[in-house]
Amino acid sequence: MLVLVRHGETEANAARLLLGRAQSPLTERGVAQAKALSRLLGPVARVVSSPLARARDSAAALGLDVPVEIDDRWIEVDYGEYDGQPLGSVPAEVWRRWRADPGFRPAGGESLADMGARVRAACDELFAADGAGARGAADVVVVSHVSPIKAAVAWALGTGDALAWRLYLSTASMTVIGWGSDAPVLHAYNLTAEALDRR
């Protein structure tokens, strides 16, 4: 299985800021979230992380006895001039353009289409390397961010990058994609230890 983990809560998340490539440390809650998520994981063969500190710190908090591989393709989308800004400060016209056109690129940033292309390439590589003949084998865990994980779900479902706008993804959540015989299969989306504890 491919297990996609979104990093734990950061100071910027708690302040409702748009967080792309900017660095923002995990909150105490974020560290606790990542630690709690580890109990939902089975045997793990590989751990891959975005290079950003919040992802690497979340990978460390999972407490897995596996070396963490860094893959730049799992970095968050670049929000350009809006990175680190309050969500409400992004002009309505910009939000409209962003939602209507996956090729829209904010000034100094990256488009959803470009981000989706790099994530699909990473997913294809993992599928080829770990999916073939790996039924029942240990999981591959990727610790990343909201936009790349949504892009991976779009890859699994065979849909376009605009799907991202129709998905909500919690911090410290787990999304599971299975290795099908000839295509990926979405098994679970947006699982959190906090939500399961409330049941």
**Catalytic residue (one of 7, 9, 110, 145):** 7
For residue 194, indicate whether it is catalytic.
no
**Catalytic residue (one of 9, 76, 110, 145):** 76
Three-state SS string over the chain comes to: CEEEEECCCEHHHHCCECCCCCCCCECHHHHHHHHHHHHHCCCEEEEEECCCHHHHHHHHHCCCCCCEEECHHHCCCCCHHHCCCEHHHCCHHHHHHHHHCCCCCCCCCCCHHHHHHHHHHHHHHHHHHHHCCCCCCCEEEEEECHHHHHHHHHHHHCCCHHHHHHCCCCCCCEEEEEECCCCEEEEEEEECHHHHHCC
For residue 7, indicate whether it is catalytic.
yes
Write out the catalytic residue numbers.
7, 76
